[in-house]
Amino acid sequence: MTRLPDRTERQLGLVIDLDTCVGCHACVISCKGWNTENYGAPLSDQQPYGADPSGTFLNRVHSYEVTPLVESAMAQLVHFPKSCLHCEDAPCVTVCPTGASYKRVEDGIVLVNETDCIGCGLCAWACPYGARELDAAAGVMKKCTLCIDRIYNENLPEEDRLPACVRTCPAGARHFGDFSDPDSHVSRLTAERGGMDLMPEQGTKPVNKYLPPRPKDQLESQLGVLAPLLAPVAEDSRGFLGWLDRTLDKI
């Protein structure tokens, strides 16, 4: 049902740490594997061994080069995973003509009920983040489910009741939790590290937050403070050996 709930009981989502993501694509493939086998239609691939391979993925990792405005500073590279942000004001839901797209009232997860979806693609048009992909084989819209079939799944050990991408991320750059709880791990990370919204001007109020990269290449500018640490004890090997003797005597 395409009307958004007035409020959701919880706000489950992800924090993605751009300072830590090494761009390994582990989350991409783990997501592909889990969601091919589980919720709804498998994520299909066209021309998987051919000239123009292309398939459905619910999570993709981009990379961006950032050139600081200060000319002397060096360019940086930021790996940037992106999946559905489970927006509070999800435009993908309200455009859906069939009610297939909906936002769950319990936890705010935005889902597609695949048996209702006609594959019109409108929700993907409405999503600014490119978080929805129409599966070419199944003809229905696929999107991140926040691994709804994992997070409450009593057939999984409790520690595994979290999204596949979070469980697999080798660098620990992905965190899952409830943003409506200010004390949750994700809320605290967001507060401490200045977690941000993507495209805030689109008014979607994303639940997922991104932690910005920490400032880089600061060392040289600290040389003033660091320099005394390199105060010479000797200028050449003779001086050094003298220093060595003096120092060793003291030990």
Partner 1 sequence: MAHRQPQLDLSPPVSDEVRKTTCYMCACRCGINVHMKDGKVAYIEGNRDHPVNKGVLCAKGSAGIMQHNAPSRLRAPLKRVGPRGSGEFEEITWDEALQIATGWLAPIRKTNPEKLAFFTGRDQSQSFTSFWAQNFGTPNYAAHGGFCSVNMAAAGIYTMGGAFWEFGQPDWDHTKLFLLFGVAEDHDSNPIKMGIGKIKARGARIIGVNPIRTGYNAVADDWVGITPGTDGLFILALVHELMKAGKIDLDYLARYTNAPCLVIEAPGSDRHGLLLRDEAGKELVIDTATGDLAPFDAPGICPDLSGSFVLNGQTCRTVMHRMAETYLDPQFSADAVAERCGIPATKIRAVAAEIARIAFDEAVEIQQEWTDFRGERHATMKGRPVSFHAMRGISAHANGFQTCRALHVLQILLGTVEVPGGFRFKPPYPKPATAHPKPHAGMNPCAPLNGPHLGFVQGPEDLALKDDGTPARIDKAFTWENPMSAHGLMHMVISNAHAGDPYKIDTLFLYMANMSWNSSMNTGGVMKMLTDTDENGDYLIPRIIYSDAYSSEMVAYADLVLPDTTYLERHDCISLLDRPICEADTAADAIRWPVADPDRDVRGFQSVLCDLGARLGLPGFTNEDGSAKYADYADYMVNHERRKGIGPLAGWRAGDAADAPEGSGRGESRPDQLQRYIDNGGFWIKHVPEPARYYKPWNSAYQDWAVETGFYDSPSPYLFQLYVEPLRRFQLAAEGHGDRQPPDRLRARIKAAMDPLPIWQDTDQTGNDGFTVHALTQRPMAMYHSWGTQNAWLRQIHGHNPLYVPTKLMREHGLTDGDWARVTSPHGAITVPVMEMAALNDNTVWTWNAIGKRKGAWALETDAPEATRGFLLNHLIHELLPERGDGQRWANSDPITGQAAWFDLKVRLEKTTAPAESQPAFAPMRSPVGTGPETLAWKTAR
Partner 2 sequence: MHPAPSVILFTTCSGLGFGLLVWLGIGFPAVTGRVAFVFFAIAYLLAAGGLIASTFHLGRPERALKAFTQWHTSWLSREAWCAVAALTLMALYGAGLVFLGTAWPVVGLAGALASLATVFTTSMIYTQLKTVPRWHTVLTPLLFLAISVSGGALMAGQTGLAPWLLLLAGIVQVAVWLRGDGAFDASGTTLASATGLGEIGTVRAFESPHTGTNYLLREFVHVIGRKHARKLRMISLTLMTVLPVILLLLPFGHVLAALAVLSHLAGVAVSRWLFFAEAEHVVGLYYGKR
- Determine, following the binding rule CB under 8 A, whether residue 235 of this chain makes contact with partner 1: yes
Q: Kindly report the backbone phi and psi dihedral angles of residue 102, in degrees, each rounded to the nearest multiple of 5, phi listed first.
A: -155, 160
Q: Is the Cβ of residue 73 or residue 197 nearer to ligand SF4 in the bound state?
A: 197
Q: How many angstroms separate the Cα of 142 from the Cα of each of 56, 73, 110, 122, 217?
A: 8, 41, 11, 12, 40
Footprint of ligand SF4 on 76-135 (CB under 6 A): 79, 81, 83-87, 90-92, 95-98, 100-101, 110, 112, 117-123, 127, 129, 131-132
4 near 90, Cβ under 8 Å? yes
- Determine, following the binding rule CB under 8 A, whether residue 5 of this chain makes contact with partner 2: no
- Determine, following the binding rule CB under 6 A, whether residue 58 of this chain makes contact with ligand SF4: yes
Q: Is the Cβ of residue 40 or residue 151 nearer to partner 2 in the bound state?
A: 40
CB of residue 108 to partner 2, shortest distance in Å: 17
Among 120, 126, 148, 198, binds partner 1 (CB under 8 A): 148
Contact string (CB under 8 A) for partner 2, positions 121-150, x = contact: xx-xxxxxxx--xxxx-xxxx---------
E strand residue ranges, 93-171 = 101-103, 110-112, 132-134, 141-143
- Determine, following the binding rule CB under 8 A, whether residue 63 of this chain makes contact with partner 2: yes
| Piece of 81-89, 156-164, 177-185, 194-202 that binds partner 1 (CB under 8 A) | 156-164
| Piece of 54-62, 146-154, 155-163, 223-231 that binds partner 2 (CB under 8 A) | 54-62
72 near 90, Cβ under 8 Å? no
Compute the residue count for the chain: 251
- Centroid of chain to Cα 152: 21
CB of residue 217 to partner 1, shortest distance in Å: 5
Q: Kindly report the backbone phi and psi dihedral angles of residue 94, in degrees, each rounded to the nearest multiple of 5, phi listed first.
A: -70, -25
Contact string (CB under 8 A) for partner 1, positions 63-92, x = contact: x-x-x------xxxxxx-------------
Q: Which helix (H) or strand (E) holds 211?
A: strand 209-211
CB of residue 189 to ligand SF4, shortest distance in Å: 14
d(CA 83, CA 81): 7
24 near 170, Cβ under 8 Å? yes
Looking at the DSSP assignment, which residues form a beta bridge with residue 214?
Answer: none
d(CA 118, CA 63): 33
Per CB under 8 A, residues contacting partner 2 are 1-3, 18, 25, 28, 52-57, 60-69, 73, 75-78, 80, 82, 91, 94-100, 116-122, 124-130, 133-136, 138-141, 196-203, 210, 212-213
